[in-house]
Amino acid sequence: MATGIAQRRERLYVDGEWIETENALSVSDLAAGGTFARVAAAGPAHVRTALEAAHEIKPRMRETTVVERAEWCESIAERLREREEELAEVIVREAGKPISSARGEVEQAAERFDRAAEEARTVVSKGEYREGSTAGHEGWQAIVKHEPIGAVLCITPYNYPLATTALQVAPAIAAGNSVLLKPASKTPVSAAILADVIAGVDGIPDGAFNFVPGEASEIGDLLAGDDRINAIAMTGSSGAGKHVARESGMINLHMELGGNAPAVVFDDADLTDVAGDCAKGSFKYAGQRCSAISRVLAHESIHDDLVDLIDGQMDAWQAGDLFDEDTAVGPLISEDQADWVAELVDDAVEKGAEIVRGGSRRAPDGVPDELADQFFEPTLLANVPRDARLVDEEQFGPIAAITTFEDEAEALEIANGSDLALDAAVFTGDYERAMRMAERIDAGAVRINGAPSHGLGDVPFGGNKDSGIGREGIDASIHAMMREKSIVL
């Protein structure tokens, strides 16, 4: 049950000070309607102060030890767990996520800070000793060590407003960097609570962490284009990522962007298991996940059977009260996003796809009128033609789109036809075929006989083509947020 949260007012956190502003972001309540929070919106002057603070503290952060930084991360994890119920309710309201998923996100965020502490210790303890091995370098001896990269700008998304924020902030702090956090303007409240947690940890210097929510159109380019930023960690759309890359210049970019994951299903796969995995992969969090299964490529001989089996899974993926533990699906983040999903479904149907279930906006009973148009039914489309836009474009909606292929070559052609290449899945009982497909599919990660999942980030993940730059994961991110220095003795 919801606790009837009062309207919140959150502030900026810059150079160790909490700051009120005249302008504020209004955060919609996706559970009850109305506005449940107002978050101070940073303007250019606040951003300049934060940039200067993050820059000035770099030498002091570089002198901190990994032991200190690991203790900070462990303390942050502990404090997040202490505020689990508060954070879970905030995530439900600002992101429209069912309560069971929201609680899991809080624990995932805490675990990422714990893991960052462990991984940082490992990274700094593995410097290298080298000897010269070329003419003129005979007798040379060198130490290759890791050091912080400097100031890291973290640009975080709305769909996992705490867990993805932790995936960026935890490794940045653990690596010894100063941080500027710019959360999604639709979901800044959980990030504000994280800022409060970090501000309360003993030993973190003023300026080492700065919380600067605001409209991207107002402050985004000012942050991304400043020469004092040494790295940008970003999760978002491909279009937004390309814009940030154009603004940023010659710095380290660490970006996980849009996805359109194909699930390639062969005729020797266990179709019952496939149906469960594809339903979860398509409908979890109403499909608003970069790793969501956006298109199911079924061998032509099993298309009808797989459609029937996925249809049989769909009763478990219905919208309801977000504070009900059994609710599986909530609203989309905005009416605009629902418009986008409807546009893609309409395009597919116009080109010949069959609606097996869903296909329109429908809110569950009791939803306030103002939120009704943000609900889109979990939708199953069969016989989707290859020229349908949703075969190649990111959906971010609850759609399972089934298309067919004749052989491996055609499956690869469809799977690799999109400009997006983040995740993929292959379902087959043939090990050699599974490995052959996994090696040939253009994606940052391919899961065999299971839906894509990024988990805590223990296995590196990230995109090819327009789906990003670099690889994320706590260990991978720490490496990306440090640089190597060779000291020749």
Residue of higher predicted confidence among 212 and 3 = 212
- End-to-end alpha carbon distance in the chain: 64
Predicted local distance difference test score (pLDDT) of residue 6: 57
**DSSP secondary structure string, 374-415?**
G-B--EEEES--TTSGGGTS---SSEEEEEEESSHHHHHHHH
pLDDT above 70: residue 371:
yes
Helix (H, G, I), strand (E, B) or coil at 480: helix
User: Is 104 within 8 Å of 155 (Cβ atoms)?
Assistant: no
pLDDT-based confidence at residue 125 (cuts at 50, 70, 90): confident
Query: Which pair of tokens denotes residue 193?
Result: 């609570």
What type of residue sits at position 149?
Answer: I
pLDDT above 90: residue 260:
yes
Predicted local distance difference test score (pLDDT) of residue 1: 41
Answer yes or no: 71 catalytic.
no
pLDDT-based confidence at residue 286 (cuts at 50, 70, 90): very high
- What pairing do the DSSP bridges indicate for beta strands 379-382 and 399-405? parallel
| Residues sharing a CB contact under 8 Å with residue 245, sequence separation 6 or more, in sequence order | 253, 255, 469
Cα–Cα distance measured from residue 362 to residue 201, given in angstroms and rounded to the nearest whole number:
45
Predicted local distance difference test score (pLDDT) of residue 50: 98
Name the residue ranges covered by the structural domains of the chain: 8-257+467-488, 261-448
**What integer is the mean pLDDT of 57-78?**
97
User: Is 402 within 8 Å of 298 (Cβ atoms)?
Assistant: yes
Strands of 266-347 (E only): list them. Answer: 293-299
User: How many CA atoms within 13 Å lie on the side-chain side of 194?
Assistant: 34
Q: Decide which of 3.40.309.10, 1.10.10.10, 3.40.50.300, 3.30.70.1350 is the CATH code for 261-448.
A: 3.40.309.10
Query: Which pair of tokens denotes residue 211?
Result: 């919380």
Query: Which pair of tokens denotes residue 267?
Result: 């005729």
Cα–Cα distance measured from residue 278 to residue 187, given in angstroms and rounded to the nearest whole number:
28
pLDDT above 70: residue 3:
no
Q: How much of the chain, in percent, has pLDDT values that exceed 90?
A: 95
Cα–Cα distance measured from residue 413 to residue 418, given in angstroms and rounded to the nearest whole number:
9
pLDDT-based confidence at residue 124 (cuts at 50, 70, 90): confident
Predicted local distance difference test score (pLDDT) of residue 484: 93
pLDDT, tens only, 85-96: 999 999 999 999
pLDDT, tens only, 157-204: 999 999 999 999 999 999 999 999 999 999 999 999 999 999 999 999
pLDDT above 90: residue 455:
no
| Residues sharing a CB contact under 8 Å with residue 104, sequence separation 6 or more, in sequence order | none
Domain 8-257+467-488 has CATH 3.30.70.2740: no
Q: Where are the alpha helices (DSSP H) in 284-429?
A: 303-313, 335-350, 408-415
Query: Which pair of tokens denotes residue 305?
Result: 């059977």
pLDDT above 90: residue 126:
no
Spot the catalytic one: 10, 89, 111, 256: 256
Predicted local distance difference test score (pLDDT) of residue 457: 80
Predicted local distance difference test score (pLDDT) of residue 75: 98
**What integer is the mean pLDDT of 462-473?**
94
**What integer is the mean pLDDT of 326-333?**
96
pLDDT-based confidence at residue 150 (cuts at 50, 70, 90): very high
**What integer is the mean pLDDT of 229-243?**
96
Helix (H, G, I), strand (E, B) or coil at 451: coil
